[in-house]
Amino acid sequence: MESKQQTLDRILGLGPVMPVLVINEVADAVPLARALVDNGVRVLEVTLRTPHALAAIACLAEAVPEAVVGAGTVVSPEQLAAVERAGARFAVSPGLTPKLIAAGRDSALPLLPGVMTASEAMTAAENGFTRLKLFPAQQAGGVGMLKAIHGPLPELRFCPTGGVTVDNAPEFLALPNVMCVGGSWLAPDALVRAGNWDEIGRRALAAAQLRPR
Ligand code: 3PG
């Protein structure tokens, strides 16, 4: 059977960019996911920042089977259990706590915990988490930080998120310890609220075509 690390490698290897999504209306979930998936962006992080996030995850898991839907902003064991029940395929947290580490180890759902320092990354690795979200990536030191941490901690792989843009993503993607990047620029709130699926689709297409530089 595939390990949780192998599952994360497979999922995060599906595309260079994982959009961070904030879904205010469940009715937006399917057209938003379609705009992304139809343009080559299959792995979606639906954040638990809105009251309807769990319903949106459940809806997408059912209605858009080509999408690989994960849950973001998971900060408690209860939320980890809830997103698994909703049908999320993986979970992302902005940081790690002892409770979340324990829940992540016990859960069948792969967890991508957020870290910002070498010590946090080492704590994660000690607990079996070697696939990590670097958050907030730019504020943590961005490309320079990831280059520096690769020497002492070469087994770790990151999805930098926070301050990543279409312009700087290629520099992150060129690093040996970066699997993919995350960002909200594909589907910012204003475009989602306006139902501007065409522009989101254009941004998805450009993101899917990003290459290391
Ligand atoms: C997140 O919400 O996980 C990240 O902060 C997204 O960061 P961005 O808005 O800078 O892409």
HEC sequence for 55-92: HHHHHHHHHCCCCEEEEECCCCHHHHHHHHHHCCCEEE
CA-closest residue to ligand 1 atom 11: 183
Give the separation between CA 40 and CA 14, rounded to whole angstroms. Answer: 9
- pLDDT score, position 167: 97
CA atoms in the 13 A half-sphere facing the CB of 129: 33
Instruction: Per residue of the chain (213 residues), give pLDDT as tens.
Output: 899 999 999 999 999 999 999 999 999 999 999 999 999 999 999 999 999 999 999 999 999 999 999 999 999 999 999 999 999 999 999 999 999 999 999 999 999 999 999 999 999 999 999 999 999 999 999 999 999 999 999 999 999 999 999 999 999 999 999 999 999 999 999 999 999 999 999 999 999 999 998
What is the set of domains in the chain, with CATH numbers? 4-206 (3.20.20.70)
Grouping H, G, I as helix, E, B as strand and the rest as coil, residue 137 is helix
Give the separation between CA 141 and CA 89, rounded to whole angstroms. Answer: 29
Query: Which residues are marked as active site?
Result: 45, 133
CB distance 161 to ligand 1 below 6 Å: yes
H/E segment holding residue 123: helix 118-126
CB distance 20 to ligand 1 below 6 Å: yes
* Mutate-to-test residue for ligand 1 from 161, 180, 189, highest number of ligand atoms within 8 A of CB: 161
CB distance 183 to ligand 1 below 6 Å: yes
CA of 164 to the centre of ligand 1 (A): 8
Two tokens, residue 114: 């957020």
- pLDDT score, position 213: 87
- pLDDT score, position 74: 98
